[in-house]
Amino acid sequence: MVSSIPSPDRPTARKTRRTVRTLPLKLPSVILLLVWSIVPLGMTLWFSFERYNLLNPGEKGFVWFENYHFLFTDPGLRAAILNTLLLVGWVLVITVGLGTLLAVLFDQAFFGRGIARVLIIAPFFVMPTVSALIWKNMLMHPVNGVISFLMRSVGLHVIDWFSDAPLTAIIIIVAWQWLPFALLILLTAIQSLDPERKEAARMDGAGPFAMFFFIILPHLGRAIGVVVMIETIFLLTVFAEIFVTTSGGPGFASTNLAFLIYRFALLEFDVGGASAGGVIAIVLANIVAVFLMRTIARNLEA
Amino acid sequence: MKKALRKKMVFTVLAWLAAGLVFFPIFWMLLTGFKTEVEAVATPPSLFFRPTIENYVAVQQRADYFKFAWNSIVISLGSTLLALAFAVPAAYAMAFFPTKRTKDTLLWMLSTKMLPPVGVLVPIYLLFRDMGLLDTRLGLLIVYSLINLPIVVWMLFTFFIEVPREVLEAARMDGAKPRDELYYLLLPLSLPGIASTGLLSIILAWNEAFWSLNLTAANAAPLTAFIASFSSPEGLFWAKLSAASTMAIAPILVFGWMSQRQLVRGLTFGAVK
């Protein structure tokens, strides 16, 4: 392919990078994403100030903050925001806590590490509707579920998860799905730790606990931050797991913000109310996104 | 040396215990798919039974499983190809001809990923309704390629900047146009990276369940939505649910295991290496 050695005085050699027109290469992606992110966002914002119900399309008009007022006095919203925060908070605690411990464990040498690793990461690749239905029917079912069987056989009182503790049940399912994600990323981060630093610490007489708290944990700081932020963005809008298990019930006991908006939009056809809820969800997600973007930007520079 | 071995044994037991616990629900699902419906609900749960494949047959005969599987295949492959078609030129331009604004463009692209889908559910639903895209494979395919586009651009970018610049510059001096550079040099050189980017995009599209549940019904529903229809069935159905679920997750489990190392790069937007 390289038939001749280019000499510097040939005209093509002087063609600098700047002369290549790259705009046509980038522009399609940029325009697509611009349209995709701006148009629906603008529409949501606009609808949130409108009275607009699909069942009653004649009665359409600008109502300023009426939808927000309606939303903030709705008993569902308080429950939904509280449930959203509980869901995000608990899943984060479980996945990051267990994920860190498991990452340290899976960083050690042991027999069959490759296979064990493959098994423990598997839940992350299971589609959410499958995960939720497997847990709901085969594990948490009050009569025939495996968990109920185990609890009965050790003499514990059996819990009817989805009516007695619906939010807890959903937290368990979602945590199970995201634990592998935390583990995978924290394990990658641990393995990037310079082995000489560990060796040096060991030489200085650091025991396993000192090693964990003074060497590994500080090294993991940023990775943990990233896991927390990415999980938060996705966990704020958990939907399928609630959709196929409790449908948000009983009452509002397991309704989160995403499900509340869905309820307004596609069950009550209240476009205005759903859009106002959407704006709240966007604001919440953006608070987290700002921090995440900062971390990523810092990494781009490094 | 004895002590080291004992330590290794302890770690082995602990790690396998953890892996077994976490994997148990999937294992149980695999097992239940081969039971009869009566055995599936037996208490105490039966571990030893005569395996049957009747559920796999029933899922196809009664629920037309392959129709939904085909929807999943078309939508996830199609959206991935579409995203790649847009992302490859963009990532190429940003990796090899960076300008002052390249970094900001990349970050902005990623930030569109952080928009919660539920925030734009209403407008997308209405737009789809008016354009006749509700419950069509094309509609979902478009949505998925748009959701995955930022990640695909991002991942390709990180793979492209690893390609030595000199190779491309040498070709350019020989008079290669940017398009030749892209087709004959960059794509073959970064094929593994493009493959794992595509794999991640397929995995994400295959498992996506918010838009599929809200934008599709009987016609274009992919497997995520099909499985959801098991949430309120009548009669005994656990074994069939398990069989359908096993088929639905098997290909993605394999893909996921194949690409787990590359996934970290894509899933953390490069923030963890």
Of B18, B77, B64, which Cα lies nearest the Cα of B205? B77
Checking if the pLDDT of B225 tops 80, the result is: yes
User: Predicted ipTM?
Assistant: 0.87
Among A119, A245, A271, whose Cβ lies nearest the Cβ of B23? A119
pLDDT-based confidence at residue A7 (cuts at 50, 70, 90): very low
Angle (nearest 5°) at CA B242 between B241 and B247: 100
Q: Which of A38, A39, A45, A138 to mutate to test the interface with B (most CBs of B within 10 A)?
A: A138
- Across the range B19-46, mean pLDDT stands at 87
Residue boundaries of the structural domains of chain B: 64-232+248-267
Whether residues B114 and A292 touch (CB distance < 8 A) is answered with: yes
**Whole-number Å distance between alpha carbons of B182 and B179:** 5
Whether residues A189 and B8 touch (CB distance < 8 A) is answered with: no
Whether residues A184 and B123 touch (CB distance < 8 A) is answered with: no
**Whole-number Å distance between alpha carbons of B112 and B227:** 29
Contacts of A25 in chain B (CB under 8 A): 89-90, 92-93, 178
Under CATH, what is the fold of the domain B64-232+248-267? MetI-like fold (1.10.3720)
Whether residues B118 and A278 touch (CB distance < 8 A) is answered with: yes
Whether residues A137 and B90 touch (CB distance < 8 A) is answered with: no
Checking if the pLDDT of A174 tops 70, the result is: yes
Q: How crowded is the C-beta side of B66, counted as CA atoms within 13 Å?
A: 5
- Across the range A99-120, mean pLDDT stands at 91
In chain B, what percentage of residues exceed pLDDT 70? 97
Q: Could you tell me if A238 and A169 are in contact, meaning their C-beta atoms sit under 8 angstroms apart?
A: no
pLDDT of residue A13: 41
Q: Pull the structure tokens for residue B103.
A: 């970094």
Look over chain A and give the mean of its residue pLDDT values, rounded to a whole number.
Answer: 84
Higher pLDDT, B57 or B24: B24
| Residue pLDDT, tens place only, B188-207 | 888 888 988 899 899 999 99
pLDDT of residue A15: 46
CA distances from residue A164 to A133, A141, A197 in whole angstroms, order as listed: 18, 12, 50
User: How many Å is the maximal CA-CA distance in chain A?
Assistant: 88
pLDDT-based confidence at residue A12 (cuts at 50, 70, 90): very low
Which chain A residue has its CA at the smallest distance from B229's CA? A244
Of B158, B149, B150, B148, which Cα lies nearest the Cα of B190? B158
pLDDT of residue A9: 42
**A127/chain B closest Cα distance in angstroms:** 5
Contacts of A1 in chain B (CB under 8 A): 171, 174, 184
CA distances from residue B77 to A240, A248, A253 in whole angstroms, order as listed: 22, 33, 38
Lowest mean pLDDT, pick from A16-25, A244-253, B32-41, B150-159: A16-25
Whether residues A240 and B213 touch (CB distance < 8 A) is answered with: yes
Whether residues B149 and A237 touch (CB distance < 8 A) is answered with: no
| Residue pLDDT, tens place only, A124-162 | 999 999 999 999 888 888 888 888 888 888 888 888 888
- Across the range B81-101, mean pLDDT stands at 90
CA distances from residue A238 to A223, A255, A283, B164 in whole angstroms, order as listed: 22, 10, 16, 41
How far from the centroid of its chain's Cα atoms is residue A10's Cα? 54
* Bond into B44 cis (ω within 30): yes
pLDDT of residue A1: 36
**Whole-number Å distance between alpha carbons of B82 and B149:** 9
DSSP A10: S
CATH class of A75-301: mainly alpha
In chain B, what percentage of residues exceed pLDDT 90? 32
